[in-house]
Amino acid sequence: MRVFLDRAARVALSGFNRQMKIAVAGLAVAVLASGGFAAARAAEPANAAPIKIGLGMSLSGPLAANGKSALLAMQIWVADVNAKGGLLGRPVKLVYYDNQSNPSTVPGIYTKLLDVDHVNLVISGYATNMIAPAMPIVMEHGKVFESLFGLAVNKQFHYAKYFSMLPTGPNAEEAFTKGFFDTAMAQNPKPKTVAIVGANADFSNHCMTGARANAKAADLKVVYDQTYPPRTTNYDPVVQAIQAVHPDLAVICSYPLDSVGMVHAINELGFKPEMIGGGMVGLQSTSVQTELGSELNGIVVYNFWLPEKTMEFPGVQKLIKDYQAKAASEGVDPLGYYMAPWGYADLQVLGQAVEATKSLDDSKLAGYMHKATFHTVVGDIKFGADGEWSTSRVLQVQFHGISGHGLDQFRNANSVETILTPSQYKTGSVIYPYSAAAKAKTTSPAG
Supply the pLDDT for residue 48.
84
Beta pairing class for 395-399 and 275-280? unpaired
CB-neighbour burial class of residue 126 (10 A; exposed 0-12, middle 13-18, buried 19+): buried
CB-neighbour burial class of residue 272 (10 A; exposed 0-12, middle 13-18, buried 19+): middle
Q: pLDDT tens-digit profile of 274-300? A: 999 999 999 999 999 999 999 999 999
Supply the pLDDT for residue 439.
79
Angle 210-214-217 from CA coordinates, rounded to 5°: 140
Structural contact between residues 138 and 110, judged by C-beta atoms closer than 8 angstroms: yes
Q: pLDDT tens-digit profile of 388-421? A: 999 999 999 999 999 999 999 999 888 899 999 9
256-269 helix and 236-243 helix, angle to the nearest 10 degrees: 60
| Percent of the chain whose pLDDT exceeds 90 | 86
Q: What is the dihedral of CA 310, 312, 313, 319, to 10 degrees?
A: 150
Paired residues of 146 in beta bridges: 123, 163
Distance in angstroms (rounded) separating the CA atoms of residues 363 and 13: 21
Amino acid residing at 272: K
Does this model's pTM top 0.75? My answer is yes
Supply the pLDDT for residue 115.
98
Paired residues of 301 in beta bridges: 278, 397
Over residues 123-134, mean pLDDT: 97
Supply the pLDDT for residue 119.
98
Supply the pLDDT for residue 18.
42
Supply the pLDDT for residue 47.
57
- Confidence check: pLDDT of 28 > 70: no
Q: pLDDT tens-digit profile of 45-68? A: 445 899 999 999 999 999 999 999
| Percent of the chain whose pLDDT exceeds 70 | 88
Domains and CATH numbers, the chain: 7-167+313-387 (3.40.50.2300), 172-303+400-439 (3.40.50.2300)
Q: Which residue has the higher pLDDT, 42 or 257?
A: 257
Closest CA to 178 of 191, 190, 189, 169: 169
**Which residues, 6 or more positions from 184, have their beta carbon under 8 angstroms from its beta carbon?**
190, 191, 218, 248, 249, 274, 275
Q: How many residues does the chain have?
A: 447
Phi-psi region of 297 (alpha: psi -120 to 50; beta: other; left: phi over 0): beta
202-217 helix and 172-185 helix, angle to the nearest 10 degrees: 50
Supply the pLDDT for residue 413.
83
Question: Three-state SS string across the chain, please?
Answer: CCCCCCHHHHHHHHCCHHHHCCCHHHCCCCEEECCCCHHHHHCCCCCCCCEEEEEEECCCCCCHHHHHHHHHHHHHHHHHHHHCCCECCECEEEEEEECCCCHHHHHHHHHHHHHCCCCCEEEEEECHHHHHHHHHHHHHCCCCEEEECCCCHHHCCCCCCEEEECCCCCCHHHHHHHHHHHHHHCCCCCCCEEEEEEECCHHHHHHHHHHHHHHHHCCCEEEEEEEECCCCCCCHHHHHHHHCCCCCEEEEEECHHHHHHHHHHHHHHCCCCCEEEEEECCCCCHHHHHHHHHHHCCCEEEECCCCCHHHCCCCHHHHHHHHHHHHHHHCCCCCCCCCHHHHHHHHHHHHHHHHHHCCCCHHHHHHHHHHCEEEECCEEEEECHHHCECCCCCEEEEECCCCCCCCHHHHCHHHCEEEEECHHHCCCCCCCCHHHHHHCCCCCCCC
Amino acid residing at 29: V
**Using omega within 30 degrees of 0 as the cis cutoff, is the peptide bond preceding 189 cis?**
yes
Over residues 418-432, mean pLDDT: 96
Supply the pLDDT for residue 336.
97
Amino acid residing at 25: A
